[in-house]
Chains A and B, each alone.
Chain A
Amino acid sequence: KQEVTQIPAALSVPEGENLVLNCSFTDSAIYNLQWFRQDPGKGLTSLLLIQSSQREQTSGRLNASLDKSSGRSTLYIAASQPGDSATYLCAVRRHERNTGNQFYFGTGTSLTVIP
């Protein structure tokens, strides 16, 4: 069974700092990996999707990388802002050959950006 781990569980940084969030997974046979943001009491908002054949994806101040062979992904946030404060979750999608449940989630990193 796929296990997804996110470290650290919580992170607090001053505004303007660059930061990296980590996601690791045990089974490298993934189809893609997706990073989400979740605000308290709300659903998840998709940030970036990386296919297994890709190494990275960028959107604005966000950059996500994927190293499938080592079972790792990182989410890099540049020039952090207080509005970035939220919980960030990663989810891996297992290979398309399998049917049924496709996605396995980590427990998230709670980010606080201090003004």
Chain B
Amino acid sequence: DTEVTQTPKHLVMGMTNKKSLKCEQHMGHRAMYWYKQKAKKPPELMFVYSYEKLSINESVPSRFSPECPNSSLLNLHLHALQPEDSALYLCASSQETSGSYEQYFGPGTRLTVT
């Protein structure tokens, strides 16, 4: 089983709202990732967690706040977003952050900021 699940599938939020995206995997992977993907563009890395610790933050604005409560779960807390933050947010996981391990993506959350 190589499934990464994400909820919700779709989210519409206003610029003053606070919302969270959730990601879950039960493959025993110790690395988890958040990506942002705009239309007709490849995914852009936002954050990397390794063994539940944040290891990479790709200079993401503080209105995006990641959290890794345990090895299976990854959250992305959203606050005071801008319309240009509307995108497909993808979660991914891999066995480790180094070595020859494949990275598997979830189906994504389509976020619209109004």
A binds B: no
Residues of A near any B CB (own CB < 8 A): none
Residues of B near any A CB (own CB < 8 A): none
